[in-house]
Amino acid sequence: MPIRTTEGVGRLRRAAVGLWVSDDPETGKVIRVGATGIILWGLLTGAPEHAAVWVWAALGASLTCWLVFAVGDRAVPRTAMACLALSTVLAAAAAGPAGSAATVPVFVGMGTYALHLRPSVRSVLTVFAVELAVTLASMWPVEQRVEPLLLHVALQTVVLLFGLRRRQYRLQARQTERLLEQTRAAQQERERAAALDERARIARDLHDVLAHSLGALGVQLDVAESLLVRGRDGQDVEDAVERVRRSRAMAAEGLREARAVIAALRADPPASLPESIGAIAAAHRGGHGVRVDVDVTGTPRPLRPAAELALSGTAREALTNAARHAPGAPTRVVLDYTDAGARLAVCNGPAERPGSAGGGGGFGLAGMAERLASVGGTLRAGPEGDGSDGDGPHVWRVVAEVPE
């Protein structure tokens, strides 16, 4: 039995706490119940012994209207607010002959109406003016002195100003809560957009790694196939075997890069941008046996990690395209640091080994453009020069620019 009693007390305590937390702390159920008790106490202790019948009728109607408001505030909000205003005016009509029995409902009703968030400020001021006029009209025949009337007006004004001040504070608090909700929703949308951008970034990185590895692998296999088809002497066979070994090494390297790109995606680049591009050029030079010159102009400085990653990916993709479409052609990579950011240019001449390039197609340029656009950069690619600039005829140039 004691255990059940303890559990029952715990349930009552949790219910009371839930009522306080879930309900409006200033005009909710608990406050309405307490205000009803105060009004009943005022009627029982402050009513005159020999009051006219119309006074008791006004007080009874006022109490009935208050109970309608207390019970139906959530169910019938418009009717409830009208009953609250009528309850205050009816009590004000009996304020003179009824004394404190009517004054208590007047103060409670007017304070609740001014504090409530549902009526407008104009409605509150209108009810206050009507209630105050009715109160003074009912008190004037009873109170022949001016001091009690002025005191009542002052107290009513204090109640009105306090209610309006609390009302304004509650409105600001509610607007702040809504603003916080909107901020949370906007933050969730930003996180969702960031996740989508991250997925697109992962796709671009994997495309760059796989396109570079598979493109270089295709070039090597094409050369090996040409050597095996020609097969005039043992040297051709040895060269073909060497090409196959390079292809296997490239495939293994591409697999390692594909596995590492996701793990390293959120980390800053381990090396500076010039060092990263130099390493890419060296790997391309060793894998394809072509001349790749790298020049760095301007004053090197750190850029945004995403911008540096975009430029290094552009360099890798441009070199892969050069090896595919212009095998054996010397390539020049120029990294220029400008006041606005950095510019990367990759230029290659015509093929020196015709017939050994891999097939065209793919999404290399589109992938580079999307990557650069994600960091505010631009991409230009196409044939330039006619031999007068020293780069030879039909120079293919890829230029990528990123802002600071």
> 52-65, pLDDT tens digit by residue?
888 888 888 989 99
Residue 308 has pLDDT above 80, yes or no: yes
More confident residue, 309 or 214: 309
Structure confidence at residue 268 (pLDDT) = 47
Tokens found for residue 369: 């453009």
- Decide if 247 contacts 221 (C-beta within 8 A): yes
Residue 337 has pLDDT above 90, yes or no: yes
More confident residue, 302 or 389: 302
- Decide if 77 contacts 118 (C-beta within 8 A): yes
- Mean pLDDT of the region 60-83: 89
* Domain 189-403 -> CATH class: alpha beta
Of 144, 66, 135, whose CA–CA distance to 96 is shortest?
135
Residue 244 has pLDDT above 70, yes or no: yes
pLDDT digits (tens, 9 = 90+) for 254-271: 666 666 555 545 544 456
3-class SS letters over 243-310: HHHHHHHHHHHHHHHHHHHHHCCCCCCCCCHHHHHHHHHHHHHHHHCCCEEEEEECCCCCCCHHHHHH
Model's pTM, two decimal places?
0.45
pLDDT digits (tens, 9 = 90+) for 25-60: 667 788 888 888 888 887 777 767 677 888 888 888
For the chain, the domains span 2-144, 189-403
- Decide if 19 contacts 30 (C-beta within 8 A): yes
CA distance linking residue 357 with residue 218, whole number of Å: 9
117-154 burial: b if 16+ Cβ within 10 Å, else e: eebeeeebeebbeebbebbbebbeeebeeeeeeeebee
Residue 362 has pLDDT above 50, yes or no: no
- Mean pLDDT of the region 144-172: 85
CA distance linking residue 196 with residue 183, whole number of Å: 20
pLDDT digits (tens, 9 = 90+) for 2-13: 444 555 555 555
- Decide if 111 contacts 128 (C-beta within 8 A): no
Tally of CB atoms within 10 A around 46: 14
Q: What's CA 182's distance to the chain center, in Å?
A: 9
Of 378, 382, 386, whose CA–CA distance to 398 is shortest?
382
Structure confidence at residue 17 (pLDDT) = 44
CA distance linking residue 31 with residue 12, whole number of Å: 18
Q: If you ran DSSP here, which 8-state letter would residue 389 be given?
A: T
The CA R_g of the chain, rounded to the nearest whole Å, is 43
Predicted confidence band of residue 355 (pLDDT cuts 50, 70, 90): very low
Q: What's CA 295's distance to the chain center, in Å?
A: 42
- Mean pLDDT of the region 276-283: 86
Query: 29-46 and 2-22 helices cross at what angle (nearest 10)?
Result: 90
Whose tokens are 């303890």? That residue is: 6
Structure confidence at residue 103 (pLDDT) = 84
Whose tokens are 């043992």? That residue is: 234
Of 355, 364, 398, 330, whose CA–CA distance to 219 is shortest?
355
Q: If you ran DSSP here, which 8-state letter would residue 118 be given?
A: S
Residue 365 has pLDDT above 50, yes or no: yes
CA distances (Å), origin 246, targets 203, 213, 376, 380: 26, 11, 37, 32
Per-chain mean pLDDT for the chain:
77
**H-run or E-run covering 242:** helix 234-263
Q: If you ran DSSP here, which 8-state letter would residue 52 be given?
A: -
